[in-house]
């Protein structure tokens, strides 16, 4: 049976041309870019070109692009680097209850070191109120961190409005986790008043283990890793030249086709929701397609559904038997049997938060794939319905 991969939020397939580029570079440019000989210099030129390319696509100067191992490191560096660099003895940081684990757990870890945190609530769709962000600001606040696109539900946060309001508090840095947004939704990090912006290559057709952090000029961060002076001393470690070049190529391709890809994926999302509307056992967590300004309030590639009372691993394994590959919660939390922290924060009951699945699609999908997905969702739910009581 053919398998259909609907887990792009966890990781996207690498683009064939990106795989080819990376393979060729592994053969030709294996020297350490920090080396003084010619091969090292040639490798460093490739890194510099990739940095300039990423900066151009992201609206940043080349020196504002810091290479990392991925979204988790970028988020950790932005948060902990800001806190550790702040001169204040009393420090306070702000985030929301629906952030990715790499942000949420960073805040929890900093609490153990005496950093005061404020975790802001969200509404029933998972959106934070910009007014709540402003009200949380104190004289000792050093950082606000809010994701652009939620990795479980696809809900888009009001980043531009939050940034506008935070401009009145110049002592506060604004970090945005843009991992699920790059290549899929519009952004303008500087125009929106964002100081630090995280991205991850394997979310837009690039290799795993590569990411970047955009650091606005003038912002200083304390490094997490000590060693060499790579990345202006912010992030030590030998550059992964093939991976960095591959990431820049994948980003260019994703951004160049973003509008058409976004339109295609949003049309598929709308069709899937119409199909789900005929499956009463399933409920949508997030923004409905028929709501006002829906396209600006949700990412086009993520649909989060709950089957209240049914354990998510039961749904996922049954769908897999029928060739449908989806996930539950985020990939980082998918093996947990606990209710989704994000759905609980949105005010949903435990049975709904415990029975959610995440469907996320991408460039290889067409409308006929959504029809197949819908048919098999109906088939699986019909088979599972008699087991509903026993699965609780």
Phi, psi (rounded to 5 degrees) for 207: -80, 155
Whether residue 252 is predicted with pLDDT greater than 80 in this model: the reply is yes
Whether pTM exceeds 0.85: yes
Q: How do 356-360 and 302-306 pair as beta strands?
A: antiparallel
Domain boundary assignment for the chain: 4-12+258-389, 16-252
Whether residue 192 is predicted with pLDDT greater than 50 in this model: the reply is yes
Q: Alpha-carbon distance 112 to 179, whole Å?
A: 26
For the residues 316-332, what does the mean pLDDT come to?
85
The mean of the pLDDT values for the chain is 93
- Sequence-ordered list of residues with C-beta below 8 angstroms from that of 89, at least 6 positions apart, any chain: none
Whether residue 208 is predicted with pLDDT greater than 70 in this model: the reply is yes
* pLDDT reported for residue 283: 95
Write out pLDDT tens, residues 268-297.
Answer: 999 999 999 999 999 999 988 766 677 788
| CATH architecture observed for domain 4-12+258-389 | Alpha-Beta Complex (3.90)
Whether residue 332 is predicted with pLDDT greater than 60 in this model: the reply is no
* % of the chain beyond a pLDDT of 70: 95
Among the residue ranges 83-87, 152-156, 192-196, 201-205, the one predicted with the least confidence is 83-87
Residue 338: CB atoms within 10 Å: 11
Whether residue 334 is predicted with pLDDT greater than 50 in this model: the reply is no
Q: Alpha-carbon distance 213 to 77, whole Å?
A: 8
3-class secondary structure, 1? coil
Expressed in percent and rounded to 5, the helix, strand and coil fractions of the chain are 45, 15, 40
* pLDDT reported for residue 89: 81
Among the listed residues 198, 221, 137, the one whose alpha carbon sits nearest the alpha carbon of residue 171: 137
CATH 3.90.79.10, applies to 16-252? no
Among the listed residues 103, 105, 135, the one whose alpha carbon sits nearest the alpha carbon of residue 120: 135
Task: With cut-offs at 50, 70 and 90, classify the pLDDT of residue 338.
Answer: confident
Could you list the active site residues? 332
Task: With cut-offs at 50, 70 and 90, classify the pLDDT of residue 298.
Answer: very high
* Partners of 325 in the β-ladder: 5
Q: How do 283-284 and 302-306 pair as beta strands?
A: antiparallel
In the Cβ-directed half-sphere of 243, how many Cα atoms lie within 13 Å? 16
Q: Alpha-carbon distance 140 to 247, whole Å?
A: 37
Q: Alpha-carbon distance 292 to 295, whole Å?
A: 8
Q: Alpha-carbon distance 16 to 7, whole Å?
A: 18
* pLDDT reported for residue 169: 96
Local structure of residue 10 (DSSP, 8 states)? T
Residue 181 near residue 299, CB atoms below 8 Å: yes
- Sequence-ordered list of residues with C-beta below 8 angstroms from that of 329, at least 6 positions apart, any chain: 152, 312, 336, 340, 342, 356, 358
Task: With cut-offs at 50, 70 and 90, classify the pLDDT of residue 88.
Answer: confident
For the residues 121-140, what does the mean pLDDT come to?
97
Q: Residue 390 is encoded by which pair of tokens? A: 């026993």
Task: With cut-offs at 50, 70 and 90, classify the pLDDT of residue 303.
Answer: very high
What is the DSSP code string of 175-197? EEE-TTTTTTS---TTTTT-SEE
For the residues 79-89, what does the mean pLDDT come to?
92
- 4-12+258-389 shares its CATH topology with 16-252: no
Q: Alpha-carbon distance 130 to 153, whole Å?
A: 19
Write out pLDDT tens, residues 228-242.
Answer: 889 989 999 999 999
* pLDDT reported for residue 75: 98
Among the listed residues 373, 302, 309, the one whose alpha carbon sits nearest the alpha carbon of residue 331: 302
For the residues 336-349, what does the mean pLDDT come to?
89
Write out pLDDT tens, residues 165-175.
Answer: 999 999 999 99
């Amino acid at each position: 049976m053919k398998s259909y991969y609907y887990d792009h939020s966890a990781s996207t397939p690498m683009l064939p041309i990106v795989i080819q580029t990376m393979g060729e570079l592994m053969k030709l440019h294996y020297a350490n870019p920090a080396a003084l000989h010619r091969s090292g210099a040639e490798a460093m030129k490739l890194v510099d070109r990739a940095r300039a390319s990423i900066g151009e696509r992201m609206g940043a100067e080349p020196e504002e692009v810091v290479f990392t191992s991925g979204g988790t490191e970028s988020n950790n560096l932005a948060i902990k680097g800001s806190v550790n660099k702040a001169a204040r003895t009393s420090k306070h940081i702000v985030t929301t209850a629906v952030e990715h684990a790499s942000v949420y757990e960073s805040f929890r870890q900093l609490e153990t070191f005496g950093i005061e945190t404020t975790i802001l609530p969200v509404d029933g769709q998972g959106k934070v109120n910009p007014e709540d962000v402003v009200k949380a600001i104190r004289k000792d606040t050093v950082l606000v961190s809010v994701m652009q696109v939620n990795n479980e539900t696809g809900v888009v946060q009001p980043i531009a409005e939050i940034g506008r309001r935070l401009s009145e508090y110049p002592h506060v840095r604004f970090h945005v986790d843009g991992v699920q947004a790059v290549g899929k939704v519009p952004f303008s990090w500087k125009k929106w008043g964002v100081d630090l912006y995280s991205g991850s290559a394997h979310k837009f057709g690039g290799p795993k283990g590569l990411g970047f952090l955009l650091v606005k000029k003038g912002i200083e961060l304390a490094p997490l890793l000590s060693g060499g002076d790579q990345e202006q001393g912010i992030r030590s470690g030998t550059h992964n030249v093939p991976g960095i070049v591959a990431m820049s190529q994948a980003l260019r391709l994703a951004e160049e086709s973003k509008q058409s890809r976004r339109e295609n994926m949003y049309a598929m999302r709308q069709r899937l929701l119409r199909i789900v509307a005929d499956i009463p056992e399933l409920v949508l967590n997030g923004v409905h397609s028929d709501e006002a300004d829906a396209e600006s309030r949700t990412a086009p590639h993520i649909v989060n559904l709950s089957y209240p009372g049914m354990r998510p691993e039961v749904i996922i394994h049954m769908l897999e038997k029928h060739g449908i590959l989806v996930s539950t919660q985020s990939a980082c939390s998918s093996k947990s049997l606990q209710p989704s922290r994000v759905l609980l924060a949105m005010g949903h009951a435990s049975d709904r938060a415990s029975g959610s699945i995440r469907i996320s699609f991408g460039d290889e999908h067409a409308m006929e794939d959504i029809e197949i997905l819908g048919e098999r969702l109906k088939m699986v739910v019909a088979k599972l319905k008699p087991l509903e009581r026993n699965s609780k």
